[in-house]
Structure 1
Amino acid sequence: MSSVLITGASRGIGRAIAAELADRGHRVIATARRPETLAGLPVDQRLRLDVTDQESVDRAVRAAGDIDVLVSNAGDTVRAPLESVPLSEVERLFRLNTLGALRVAQAVLPAMRERGEGRLLFVSSIQGRLVLPMIGPYGASKWALEALAETLAIETGHFGVRVSVVQPGAVSSGGAERARVFVPDGDPYAPLYQALPALRGDVVTPEEVAATVADTVEHPDPPLRVPAGAPAERVLRARKEAPEDEPFLATAIDW
């Protein structure tokens, strides 16, 4: 069984991944900014790790010992039109969703490279391959994450490191409900924001995503990109088949 470090394991998808991998017999190191939120998880270690803080990352990686697999899950989202979203929020999402993922990957890669084996698994989104209105900053951070992951796959494959990106669609993790919203009363984009739930499509559970992640961890030769759930598979197939010379929206909307 593998030794797996998971970021953002306090709730939602990350917590479900930790529980699933532990149930399958893996040695799981669950991490979160507040380690007390990891209480109750049946894992080997519970560590503090803030992906935006280099010292925190280095300390957690040292404490974890040998790491066979990194599951990079920590992330956040926001709801706002690009015309008026605070740029500080866009910067925050990139620091967390994109640079944070790279920071932890950089911390674990040297040991994996020296051993000649390892896995990097990034929890992305269907929004790493398409966009949804009012969630543009999140989508941009995931497109950037997927570019980093694909580059890592090329650069580190020679050293025996395998890279995969898991792409769920809408998940009943509570993330959408916790998202910061910058759409005040009377905002001209308010009707589009109100239509957003219909655009997000069918919802899967964190446990379904966790099962896909665990299957990918255990796959002897995993693909680079792995849709998580039938809704994600349908939307990503439609995106692939759609023309590239115009914006793609999986669901038509009149707002």
Structure 2
Amino acid sequence: MKQPMIWIVGAGCGIGLGIAKTFGKRGYLPLLITREESLLEAMKQALIEQNVTAEGTVAYAGDETSLRNTLNELEQQYGVPDVLIYNASAHTPGYPSEVAPSDMLADLQVNVIGALTAAQCVLSGMRTRGTGSILFTGGGQAIHPTATLASLGVGKSSIRNLALSLHDELKNYGLYAGTLTISGFVQPGTAFSPDVIGEAFYRMHQQKNEAEVIIRP
């Protein structure tokens, strides 16, 4: 029987590692897509210490062409993932009156366009197979914006909207999409620890029910 596989775009040593560990301990092969080779190797080593073997590659989520080419190559090599999680995020601090439009546009390229690109890359294969989950890491700024984090708030509200509309579309194909909205600061030992977040994503994939799940204090 083929080993199930999860792709984590924008994997890092916080949320991404928590997701990879959670799914890896349940028999999934985590495939980590991150921006830096050194980070990728550090994550793979950390997972080995948890008895989880992971694969991965380097790609920048803010470069649409590069990301699309990378994910297409991964599909040719490994096949279609059972789960895609988009975890990449970028933000420029500042009030709405201060943030340069070019900075917000660059952030949106990572926060939203990268998510759309990643989802489109795996959809054809998932539709053909008839199963698959596409999940986005959301944030509380989508619901309760903070003035000094205007760019992040716009990005998280946009990815939330994308997830909800994608959920509405994909249910017609027997597929599942959703967003996990994390309304707090990610920190080990709290309700927002990477392990708690990883478990929440796993439940979403298993239950394939709600378009949005919110983690609150």
TM-score if structure 2 supplies the norm length? 0.84
List structure 1 segments (4+ residues) > 4 angstroms apart after TM superposition: none
Equivalent residue letter for 1:159? Y
- Separation in structure 2 between the aligned mates of residue 25 and residue 123 of structure 1, nearest angstrom: 22
Q: Is the 8 A contact 2:62 2:106 kept in 1?
A: no
Structure 1 residue 34: Cα displacement: 1.9
Instruction: Name which of 183, 196, 203 aligns with 1:215.
Output: 203
- Cα displacement string for residues 12-71 of structure 1 (whole angstroms, at most 9, x for unaligned residues): 111211122112221211111223312213333122232233233333343332211101
Aligned-partner SS, 1:171: coil
Instruction: Name which of 10, 16, 20 aligns with 1:8.
Output: 10
- Separation in structure 2 between the aligned mates of residue 71 and residue 115 of structure 1, nearest angstrom: 18
Q: Is the 8 A contact 2:40 2:58 kept in 1?
A: no
Instruction: Name which of 170, 178, 195 aligns with 1:156.
Output: 170
Aligned-partner SS, 1:204: coil
Q: List alignment gaps of at least 5 residues for structure 1.
A: 175-201, 232-255
- Separation in structure 1 between the aligned mates of residue 59 and residue 71 of structure 2, nearest angstrom: 6
- Cα displacement string for residues 162-187 of structure 1 (whole angstroms, at most 9, x for unaligned residues): 1111011222359xxxxxxxxxxxxx
Q: List alignment gaps of at least 5 residues for structure 2.
A: none
The alignment's C-alpha RMSD in Å is 2.1
- Separation in structure 2 between the aligned mates of residue 203 and residue 87 of structure 1, nearest angstrom: 34
Equivalent residue letter for 1:46? G
Shift in alpha-carbon separation, 1:167–1:123, aligned structure 2, 3 A: same
Structure 1 residue 128: Cα displacement: 2.0
Answer yes or no: is 1:144 the counterpart of 2:158: yes
Instruction: Name which of 17, 20, 29 aligns with 1:18.
Output: 20
Match in the other structure for 2:193: 205
Shift in alpha-carbon separation, 1:87–1:43, aligned structure 2, 3 A: farther
Of 50-59 and 90-99, the range deviating more from structure 2: 50-59
Q: Flag the structure with larger Rg.
A: 1
Aligned-partner SS, 1:226: strand
- Cα displacement string for residues 135-185 of structure 1 (whole angstroms, at most 9, x for unaligned residues): 1111111111111112211222111111111011222359xxxxxxxxxxx
Instruction: Name which of 203, 213, 216 aligns with 1:226.
Output: 213
Instruction: Name which of 95, 104, 108 aligns with 2:109.
Output: 95
Instruction: Name which of 185, 205, 210 aligns with 1:171.
Output: 185
Aligned-partner SS, 2:173: coil
Structure 1 residue 105: Cα displacement: 0.4
Q: Is the 8 A contact 1:49 1:60 kept in 2?
A: no
Equivalent residue letter for 1:14? G
TM-score if structure 1 supplies the norm length? 0.73
- Identity across matched positions, percent: 24
Provide the aligned length of Structure 1 versus Structure 2: 202
Shift in alpha-carbon separation, 1:211–1:135, aligned structure 2, 3 A: same
Q: Is the 8 A contact 1:13 1:173 kept in 2?
A: no
